[in-house]
Amino acid sequence: MVKDQNKMPLFEAVKAYHDKKVVPFDVPGHKHGQGLLEFADFVGETVMQIDVNSMKPLDYLSNPVSVIKQAQELAAHAFSADHCFFLVNGTTSAVQAMIMSACSPGDKIILPRNAHKSAINGIILSGAQPVYVQPELDKELGIAMGVTPEAIEKAIDENPDAKAVFIINPTYYGYTSNLSDIVKLCHEKGIIVLVDEAHGAHFSFHESLPQSAMSAGADMSSVSLHKTGGSLTQSSLLLMKEDRIQESLVRAMINLTLTTSASYLLMSSLDVARKQLAVRGKETLDRVLQISRWARDEINKIDGLYAFGRERINGCGVFNFDETKLGIDVNGIGLTGFEAYDILRDEYNIQMELGDVCNILAIISVGDDEKSVKALVDAISDMAKRYRRESLDIGTLPLENPEVVVSPRQAFYGMKKMVRLEESEGMICAESVMAYPPGIPVVTMGEKITKEIIEYIQFMKTQHTTLSGTKDQYIENIEVLAF
């Protein structure tokens, strides 16, 4: 059925509610901002007036039958899915719902180890058993890339009882796996394919971008529309095909953790962002790609900097590349990515998406223009002049998959103790240690702690990296299993 993508049923209903000047005697208690004037004065009267509770004219997210349902159907059509669910707890909740829908306690799920922490948490919640696949490594850049169909096939052959395969599309730095071949392989063997498409919300709307999960035939994908599609932070989509999994099951899993007080600000932004992409996505992304390519070319003219891109595609674990991801290796000017990240924020008022040992990453999205991207390029050029040192030799980073000794769920519920980080070699980790962003664990629950892992954590601490996931916020100590 043809859908009119110009319609915004949920957003239009929220606006109609606003225009009626309803007198509220329900929650929230700020009553259209009158009980939170200092905040309302800053964010604006309209924002407070549409921060409302669920009601019949605005539908109910947990069981939508009218305007939310219509908005979700429009989004499903725009993204080539059978069904779409609006979510207000970010793509974290979508990833967890996907894993819980596909896996029962004890079921095996095959996934790359460079998955976001939400996948590990989804495994804990579901009780699934992870089978980690080694992603392809780019040791020059110090990052993990995609996975090959051959690696997935080998994992399936060794674990023929696996219920699901989980793929990242794209990685944080914009590289993708051969998703179509992986989906075909899995479906031939009766295995469900789940895709973390947090950074690929825009893939469906331009032919020069990598293939989206739904167009590749995946069973479910989680899409952070707020990351690259323009909706408000924390708003997300779960997309699905109904060939191998039931919509009612997925809805039940979502409702296990879904709030009964969903934000209409967040949901309305999903409705509008979907319309923008469906109606004007091609022309918008034409511009985004043009300025992204310009920035990459300009940065590659600067001695010592390398803005990497399509040239690293090899047809295997690096099958395609999203050119809106501007990753830059800064080791050639003597800086770590951690240092460059801080310098750009503190000295130039430029907020990058992340920094790691080698690289910094900028996300060029629907909200950027030539002016903003030129400011970024000018700041990076000046930083290269002012802060240049001798080139760094970063040595070998711990990019290989850690050894899994017990499942994350066993480790989560197991007896634990705290030990000094430097004394934890050989012990089994009982918490996760990760730099955020990107939120990919260096070591996580159930994995053996190695000397290399300890040294890498200590190095990140010297770089004043934001580390999270541990009870000791300074990570002088680490929690391990007590056996």
Question: Is residue 7's pLDDT more than 70?
Answer: yes
Same domain assignment for residues 263 and 130: yes
Q: Are residues 312 and 461 in the same domain?
A: no
Out of 277, 301, 318, a domain closes at 277
Calculate the average pLDDT of the chain: 96
Write the pLDDT tens digit of every residue in 262-283: 999 999 999 999 999 999 999 9
Task: Give residue-wise pLDDT tens across range 119-149.
Answer: 999 999 999 999 999 999 998 998 999 999 9
Domain around 307: 285-386
Exposed/middle/buried for residue 261 (C-beta within 10 Å: 0-12, 13-18, 19+) = exposed
- Residue 107 is part of a domain; what is its CATH number? 3.40.640.10
Looking at the fold, whether 67 and 162 belong to one and the same domain comes out as: yes
43 touches 74 (CB < 8 A): no
295 and 412 together in one domain: no
Q: Are 203 and 85 found together in one domain? A: yes
Q: Does 401 reside within a domain?
A: no
CATH number for position 332 = 3.90.1150.10
In this structure, the answer to whether residues 377 and 443 fall within a common structural domain is no
Strands 220-223 and 192-197: parallel
pLDDT at 224: 97
365 within a domain of the structure (yes/no): yes
Distances (CA, A) of 329 to 208, 231, 326, 389, 428: 24, 29, 10, 14, 33
Residues 90, 211, single domain; the answer is yes
CA 351 vs CA 325, 339, 341, 407: distances in Å: 14, 13, 8, 37
CB 80 within 8 A of CB 204: yes
- Which CATH number fits the domain that encloses residue 420? 3.90.100.10
User: Residue 436: its pLDDT value, please?
Assistant: 81
User: 160 by DSSP, 3-state: which?
Assistant: coil
145: amino acid identity, one letter: M
pLDDT higher than 80, residue 451:
yes
Asked if omega into 112 is within 30° of 0 (cis), the reply is no
The amino acid occupying position 383 is M
164 and 86, same domain (yes or no): yes
pLDDT value of position 464: 85
The single residue listed with the structure tokens 């000397």 is 451
Does 391 map to a domain? no
Dihedral angle over CA of 449, 450, 453, 455, nearest 10: 130
89 and 221 share one domain = yes
Residues 101 and 171 in one domain: yes
- Residue 210, preceding peptide bond in cis (omega within 30° of 0): no
Residue 306: strand pairing partners: 329
Alpha-helix runs per DSSP H in 20-111: 37-43, 45-49, 67-78, 90-102
Question: What is the Cα–Cα distance from 481 to 448, expressed in whole angstroms?
Answer: 10
* Same-domain pairing of 31 and 134: yes
Residue 1 reports pLDDT greater than 70: no
Closest CA to 108 of 166, 162, 165, 152: 162
What's the CA dihedral at 175, 179, 180, 181 to 10 degrees?
110
Residue 30, domain member (yes or no)? yes
- pLDDT of 332-379, one tens digit each? 999 999 999 999 999 999 999 999 999 999 999 999 999 999 999 999
> Does the residue 300 lie in any domain?
yes
Tell me, yes or no, whether 147 and 294 share the same domain: no
Q: Has residue 471 been placed in a domain?
A: yes
Quick check: is 32 in a domain? yes
Identify the three-state secondary structure at position 477.
strand
Per-residue pLDDT of 387-407, as tens digits, reads 999 988 877 677 788 999 999
pLDDT at 435: 86
78's CB contacts (< 8 A; 6+ apart) are: 3, 5, 204, 274, 277, 278
Residue 316 has pLDDT above 90, yes or no: no
| Tally of domains in the chain | 3
User: Is residue 94 over pLDDT 80?
Assistant: yes
